[in-house]
Amino acid sequence: MAWEKSSPDLVERFTLALPQHTDAQPRKIFGYPCCFVKGNFFVGLHEDNVVIRLPGDLKNQFSDLRSANTFDPMGTGKGMKDWWIIPPAIPGDTEKLSGFFAATFAEVQKLPAKPAKTKAKKKAAKKK
């Protein structure tokens, strides 16, 4: 399954809407821009969707997410637990997107930091 790139307009709106905070850690996953907060995935793009991960009951704190669909990038019908596609009305308005990111950032920032993953050591090849 080939994924399409996000539109340049959406990438620009997404980038401008990210919180300007030292805990915000912009990165890329699978070539798509995203942002982490203290090691926790916060928001990102997938094709022309803005996705968010809100663990536990956090989704219910945001009325804008009541109609949000589960994020299901592989099309399995199950979706990913705690991952949501932000309804199109929010990313379509940069000011609204910024406000939404700021509010959800504040909630995700309260979560415990995830420890950094350590890289596995490569085993030396055995000589015969």
The vertex-111 CA angle with 19 and 62, nearest 5°, equals: 65
pLDDT at residue 15 is higher than 90:
yes
Flag whether 115 is in a domain: no
pLDDT at residue 62 is higher than 70:
yes
User: Shortest CA distance to 54 belongs to which of 65, 67, 38?
Assistant: 65
Flag whether 90 is in a domain: yes
Flag whether 21 is in a domain: yes
**75-110: per-residue pLDDT in tens?**
788 888 888 888 888 888 888 889 888 888 888 888
Residue 65 CB burial class (10 angstroms; 0-12, 13-18, ≥19): buried
CATH number at residue 58: 3.30.1460
> How many distinct structural domains can be found in the chain?
1
pLDDT of 29 reads 83
Flag whether 60 is in a domain: yes
Range of the domain at 48: 8-109
**Average pLDDT value for residue range 54-76:** 81
Flag whether 37 is in a domain: yes
Pairing mode of beta strands 49-53, 69-70 = unpaired
pLDDT at residue 60 is higher than 70:
yes
Flag whether 114 is in a domain: no
Type of residue found at 79: G
